[in-house]
Amino acid sequence: MVTLVNLRAYWRFLVVLYQFFPLIVAYTRDKRKYLLFGGGRRVTTEMRVKRADVLLESLLTLGPTFIKLGQLLSTRPDILPPEYIEVLGTLQDDVPPAPWDDSKAVLEAELGPVEEAFDAFDTEPISGASLGQVYVAEYEGEKVAVKVRRPGIEDLVEADLRVIRWSMPLLMRFIGEGRAFSLENLADEFAKTIREEMDYAEEAETLLEIQENFADDDTLVIPEPIPERSDDRVLTMEYLPGTKINNIEALDDRGIDRTELATNLQRIYLQMIVDDGVFHADPHPGNLSVTDDGRIIFYDFGMHGEVDPFIQEKIVEFYIAVANQDVDGILDTLIEMGTLSPNVDRQVMGDVMELAIADARGDDIEQYRVNQILEQVESTIYEFPLRLPRNLALVLRVAGVVEGVCVTLDPEFDFISVATDYLTEEGYREESVQKIIEGVGQQGQKTAQSLFRVPPKLERVLDRADRDNLTLNVRLEDNRGVLDKLAKRLIYGIFLSFGFVSTVIIYALNPENLVAVGAAGAPTAVVALLLWRSFRSRKGIRTTPQFTRQNLKERRRE
């Protein structure tokens, strides 16, 4: 079996290499215009969009594993430029269903003969995806949904995961060191994620956990799993039909309040992420329906995420900082979460945040949306050295998709208002204010202590100064070698002046002795060249910011 997987992996590696060969050539030419020689070339926005389209087609051609990989990459703006994120965001996990005979073989391997396991079984799937497909059946007189893993998908995924690992050294050649770290982590995370998504026993556990978390909430419905008809490759659960959440006309015909529906959806996800720490991570309209009485039905818990308490706390702080338009608070939270480097240019990122908030804000100061802010942040992530934690990337994606659904339901939906109300009701804003008050109190205590300690110390210093017995030791931090450059330029300038004057004097005294003039002028010319080169370098003192408010505006106009 291992040998067959290896042989399949070798063949898939050749297929993948062939499929991505045009992109490999294009990226190589970015560094060497004529492949083996020549300078680099400038990559425009239009070129990136075309390459992203080629990448999208390649992922679709390569099948289930790479479709899932593309979906995961669409959540990682720390690895890909914004143009790729936008194109890959359209990637749908929708593939033709497998033949019934193949699915039947999987069912019977897990549960025995289909006729004995179920009262009736409709062999036409009601939905299909890259890893599995869903059928409708009857069990003990009730309709059930039966999710069956796609036949043979395990071997294909394992072979493709090997191909991805083998391809990593090649990919590292085309990206920077910081993004190489993120990409390597992504490969490990992707392998874990796709294996979890194929494990229907784990999906059933997640489904039950979230169901228990919302046991007292009547705004949503989660299908009940049927353990005796479920296994690692088959998941049988309660069949819950409903109206697709983006079918606006049908919702209006049923008299459902769409604003209330959007509010409920937002509050459900806030509880999942901020309170419970486990969340449904694939909230696209195909996985959300609405009952006739306005409750939200959740389908497909294969893709789920977990948030540890530290990240939960920081997400709350982020929401509160956005609601308060506290740019410094937003930056501090992103740095503490590990999203922004501590060495990031705060002025530049502050400008980005201010512009994002200003653009997103309406007439009412509270009328702006987190998704627009996230889009602006994501458009700068590729410009800065970031490492985006996996589950945080998933949270960002979920927040964006959920807000898109909410705005479809109600174009005037105010994400911030709902989030602020929720955090206030749950006591998070009060807790945040309490922390600030405690911090101010501690600072005040330290200040009071300083008022007693500083005067005696100051008096001693002034006494020493009065006796001419005060010595100051000054230590300069010069990580960029600025002082070293200035010293070199000063020395070069002195030698150049001395050499120039000496050469002029020798020439004036004896213009016919060219050997003497050359002996004095040659070293002077060398010093002049060294001085010129020290000013020509763009490192150190003469640096230019890589991202400014102006080029952000230009990018937005494009």
> For 539, which DSSP code?
S
**Computed from CA positions of residues 344, 346, 348, 354, in that sequence, does the dihedral angle turn out positive or negative?**
positive
**Computed from CA positions of residues 411, 412, 414, 418, in that sequence, does the dihedral angle turn out positive or negative?**
negative
What do you get for the CA distance between the two ends of the chain, in Å?
52
Contacts 24+ apart (CB under 8 A), 540-545: 540/480, 540/481, 540/482, 540/485, 541/480, 541/482, 541/485, 545/345, 545/348
- The band of 345, judged by pLDDT with boundaries at 50, 70 and 90, is confident
SS3 label, residue 36: coil
Residue of higher predicted confidence among 320 and 461: 320
Of 94-103, 217-226, 344-353, the least confident: 344-353
- The band of 399, judged by pLDDT with boundaries at 50, 70 and 90, is confident
Q: What pLDDT does 339 receive?
A: 75
> For 122, which DSSP code?
-
Helix (H), strand (E) at residue 152: none
Q: What pLDDT does 447 receive?
A: 53
- The band of 334, judged by pLDDT with boundaries at 50, 70 and 90, is confident
Helix (H), strand (E) at residue 231: none
Burial (0-12, 13-18, 19+ Cβ within 10 Å), 538: exposed
Q: What is the mean pLDDT of residues 447-460?
A: 58
Residue of higher predicted confidence among 433 and 485: 485
* Alpha-carbon gap, residue 47 to 70, rounded angstroms: 19
> For 199, which DSSP code?
-
The label of the residue with tokens 């990919």 reads 171
Residue 330 CB coordination number (10 Å): 25
Of 182-186, 422-426, 544-548, the least confident: 544-548
> Which amino acid is residue 239, in one-letter code?
Y
Q: What pLDDT does 539 receive?
A: 41
Residue of 52, 59, 46 whose CA lies nearest to 80: 52
- Write out the two tokens for 445: 């205590």
- Write out the two tokens for 126: 């009601």
- Write out the two tokens for 215: 């046991």
**pLDDT tens, position by position, 276-292:** 999 998 888 888 999 99
- Write out the two tokens for 505: 């004097």
Angle between helix axes 309-323 and 415-425 (nearest 10 degrees) is 120
Active-site residues, by number, are 282
Helix (H), strand (E) at residue 139: strand 132-139
* Alpha-carbon gap, residue 549 to 347, rounded angstroms: 10
- Contact between residue 235 and residue 204 where contact means Cβ atoms under 8 Å apart: yes
Q: What pLDDT does 545 receive?
A: 36
* Alpha-carbon gap, residue 70 to 79, rounded angstroms: 12
> Which amino acid is residue 74, in one-letter code?
S
Q: What's the residue count for the chain?
A: 558
Q: What is the mean pLDDT of residues 333-358?
A: 75
Residue 209 scores a pLDDT above 60 = yes
Q: Return phi, psi of residue 411, to 5°.
A: -60, -20
Between CA 502 and CA 511, with CA 506 as vertex, the angle to 5 degrees is 145
Residue of higher predicted confidence among 65 and 389: 65
Please state which CATH class domain 94-157+197-240 belongs to: alpha beta
Of 167-171, 213-217, 367-371, 527-531, the least confident: 367-371
β-bridge mates for residue 132, sequence order = 149
Secondary structure in 3-state letters for 443-485 = HHHHHHHHHHHHHHHHHHHHHHHHCCCCCCCCCCCCCCCHHHH
**pLDDT tens, position by position, 377-397:** 555 555 554 566 666 777 877
- The band of 547, judged by pLDDT with boundaries at 50, 70 and 90, is very low
Q: What pLDDT does 296 receive?
A: 97
The alpha helices in 214-273, defined as continuous H runs, are: 248-253, 258-270
Q: How far is CA 282 from CA 107, 205, 285, 301, 401, in A?
A: 25, 17, 9, 8, 8
* Alpha-carbon gap, residue 251 to 245, rounded angstroms: 8
Residue of higher predicted confidence among 139 and 555: 139
**pLDDT tens, position by position, 90-140:** 777 667 788 899 999 999 999 999 999 999 999 999 887 788 899 999 999
* Alpha-carbon gap, residue 462 to 101, rounded angstroms: 94
Residues 6+ apart with CB under 8 A from 246: 285, 405, 408, 409
SS3 label, residue 554: helix
Q: What pLDDT does 360 receive?
A: 53
Q: Return phi, psi of residue 461, to 5°.
A: -65, -45
* Alpha-carbon gap, residue 535 to 546, rounded angstroms: 20
Q: What pLDDT does 526 receive?
A: 80
- The band of 356, judged by pLDDT with boundaries at 50, 70 and 90, is low
Residue of higher predicted confidence among 265 and 545: 265
Angle between helix axes 390-409 and 309-323 (nearest 10 degrees) is 40
β-bridge mates for residue 535, sequence order = none
DSSP string across 381-416: HTTS-----HHHHHHHHHHHHHHHHHHHH-TT--HH
Task: State the pTM of this model.
Answer: 0.68
β-bridge mates for residue 142, sequence order = 139
- The band of 364, judged by pLDDT with boundaries at 50, 70 and 90, is very low
Percent over 70 (pLDDT), the chain: 74
